[in-house]
Structure 1
Amino acid sequence: MSSIGVSVPIDIDNAARELLRIGLLGPQAIIERNLTVVDVSRRNRNLRITQKDGPNFFLKQTMGRSQEDVLYIVREANFYRFVESLDGDSGISALFPRLEYINIADGLLITELVDNAETLGSYISGNSETIEEALFLLGEKLRLIYSSFEAVTSTHEDNNVRGLGRQLPWIMHVHEPSPEIMSTLSPSNHEVLRIIQGDGDLCMSIGHARTLWRPETIISSDMKLDNVLITRTPGGSHGVVFVDWELVQVGDACWDLSGIVQDLIIFWINSMQHMGDVASMISTNAFKLEQMQRWIRSLWTGYCSSADFPPGYGAAALTRLVHFTAVRLIQSAYERQHTAVSMSSAAVLALQVSKNMFANPEDAQVRLLGLYNWL
C-alpha cells in the first residue's frame, strides 16, 4: 500500500487514529482498546504497535524531511518489494518483514512486526545452550540471501534495486575525513580520529582493506546483532528475520558478516572487568575467549555449509572477513563515542584489538576468531 497522506508526526497518542485512517486498523481495535503502542525511537521515530487479536506493525518515520532522510525509507521499501518478487520456491521473503505501507512525502514506512521474536543481541544474553545453533542458522540464511541476490546484482534487471549505491563504507575513509564529518565530531570522536591519523600502519591497513572490497551482491551495510531477529515456533525450532535495510546497497557480503563478528567481539570486550593489564582482563573474564570463538565458528561454518561456493572463494572470503572485522571495530569505537567527552576503556580496547588484527591477520584468524580454515 502507498501514500494517502498523514501530514503529522505519528506518536503514541495519535498512532491508532492514523493507522485507522490509513486502513491498517479496523474500528474494533480502537473501540475494544486492545491496542498497545510502544515508542522505541532511535535515529528515526519508531513505534511498535501490537494487538491482542490481529496483525502487529512496526512504524518508522524519519525525524526530518530532507531528500536524504526520505531516500532511506524509499530504499528500504523498494528492497522489501524486491525480495517479495524473488520468492518463488526459495522462501526468501520469509527472512524479511512484510512491507505494509509507505508514504514518501511524510517519510513513513510501516512493516509487519514479527511475532515471537527477539533480537540476536538480546538472545545471546540468555540462551547459552542454543546460541551456537542460532548462529549456524544465521550463517546459512546469510549465504542463502547473498547467493540469491548475486544474479540480480550482475544483471541489474530489477527496477527496485537498479539504483542502489556501490560506495565503500564511510569508515574506510575515516583517516581522510571530509569537512562534513569534522563538523559533527564529539571530543571523544576527535580523540579516536587523532589516534587513527597518528598511526601510519593503521592508516595503511585501512587503505589495504579498501582494495579487498568486492561489490558482488546486495548487502544491508548495517548488519548487527540488533538487526537480526531470532524467532521461535511453538515446536521450539528457530528462525531468522533480517530487519532495518535502509542502508541497503550493492557491496561485499563479508562486510555484513564482519558486522556480526565485531558485535560478538564487542560483547566479549564489554564483559571484561576493565582493570589492570589486558592479559589479566582476558584471563579473569567470565565470558571466555574460547566461548566467543565457538560462536564465531558456528556463524562461519553455517555460512560455508552451502555447496555453491566457487573454487577458492572461501579462503578469499575469510581473508576479507578478518580485515573487515578490524575495520568494523574501529567504526564501533568511533560511533559509540559520538556523544562522549572522553574515550571509554571499551573503545580503547576495540582500537587495540583492531590494530593487532591488522598487524597479523593470519594470527588473528586463528587466535582471536578461532577459525582454522574456511570450512
Structure 2
Amino acid sequence: MSVPRHASWLELFFDLVVVVAVNQLAHLLHGGAAHGPGALDIVAFFTLYLAIWLVWVTFTLYSSVVAEKVRVSAMFVGMAGIAVMAAAVPHSMDGRAAVFAAAYLATTAIGSGAFQRSGKVVLSWTAASQNAGLVPWIVSLWVGNPWAKLGLWLFGLALTMTVSVFASRGDHDELLARLNERVRRRAEPRLPAIEAAQLDTRHLGERLGLFVIIVFGEAMLQGVRAVAGVGNWRPGAGAGWLLLLAVVSAFLLLITLWWLNIRYGFAEETRFPPAVALPAHFVVIASVTTVAAGLGAVAAGPAAHLAASSAWLMCGGTSAFLLVIDLLVAHARRWPLRVAAVLVPLAAALSAPWVPAAVLVTAMAVAAGAQLLALRTKRITEA
C-alpha cells in the first residue's frame, strides 16, 4: 500500500505567488463606491484570472505528475512569471498589457517545455503540455485597443480550454501516437517517448483545495480591511446595527461556503477527470473572489445601496458557487430547496437598488445555509 503523497514544500512555496495574484485581481472589482467596477474591469478580471489560473494549472499538474523528479528551476521561473503577470494586472489594459501577454506566453512555454521533457502528458488536460491558444496572444502584442486586445486574449483562452476538453474525449492511443510522431519529426533525441501520465487524484485534489483556501483568505482580508477602516463601530441608530449584521452574515457565509467546498467540492481526492474538475475549480475560485470584493464594499457601507455591478458580481458569484457544488454532488434529493438556494442570491441582486447592502449578505448566507442543510440531510438519511 503506497503512502499518500501531500503537497511538497516547493509546491506550497509556489502557491504563495497565487496569494499575490488573487489580491491584485480582486482590486479590479473595487471600482468607485457609487458605481462599482466598469465593464472593462469586469471582463479584464475574468480574462486575466483565467490566464493566471491556466499557468498555475500547468505547473500544478507538472509537479503532481513528476513528483520528486520535478525541475526546481522550472518551478521558480514559473513562479516568477506568475509574479510578473500579477504585477502587471493593475495596468494590464494600458501601459503593461504587452508585459502581461509576454509573461503569459513565456511562462506557458516554460511549463509546457518542462512537461514535454518529462515524457509525460495528461491526456485529460492536454493544455498543460500542448497549449493550442497562443497565437491570438502573440497577435495581441500589435493591437492597441483594450477591447480588441481582451477579445484576442479571450479567444486564445477559449481555444486552450476547448481543445483540451475535446481532446480528453478522443482516442487516447491515437493522441499519444500523434504526439510521439511530432517528437520524431522534430528530431530531438533528448526528448523521451511520450506516455500517459498517471495522476495522483488525492494529491491533485489537495492542490486544488489549497487554491480555494487561498481565495477564502482573500475574502477574509477584504472584509477585515473594510471593517478596520470604519470609524465608529458602536451600534447607534441603524447604521451600526447594519454593520454588525453585515459582519456576522459575511462570516457565516464564508464558513458555510468553506464547509460546502471541503465536504463536496475541492479538498480531498477529486472524483472527476481534470477535463471536468478543472473548469469547475475555476468557476469556484472566481466566484469566491467576486464575493470577496463585494463583501469589502458592503462592510465599507452596510447601510448604503450597493452598486449594481458590485451587487451582481457578489450575488452572482454566490449562485455560481452553489450551482457548481450542486453539479459536483449530482443527486436529485431535496432539489427544490437546492434550486431555491441558487436563485435567492440572484433575487437579492435584483433588490439591490432598494435594500441596504448588509441585507444582501444576509440573503446569501441564508441561501448557502439552505444548500448545506439540503446536502447534509441527504447524507444523514443515507447513513
TM-score (norm 2): 0.28
TM-score, reference length from structure 1: 0.29
Structure 1 or 2: more helix by fraction: 2
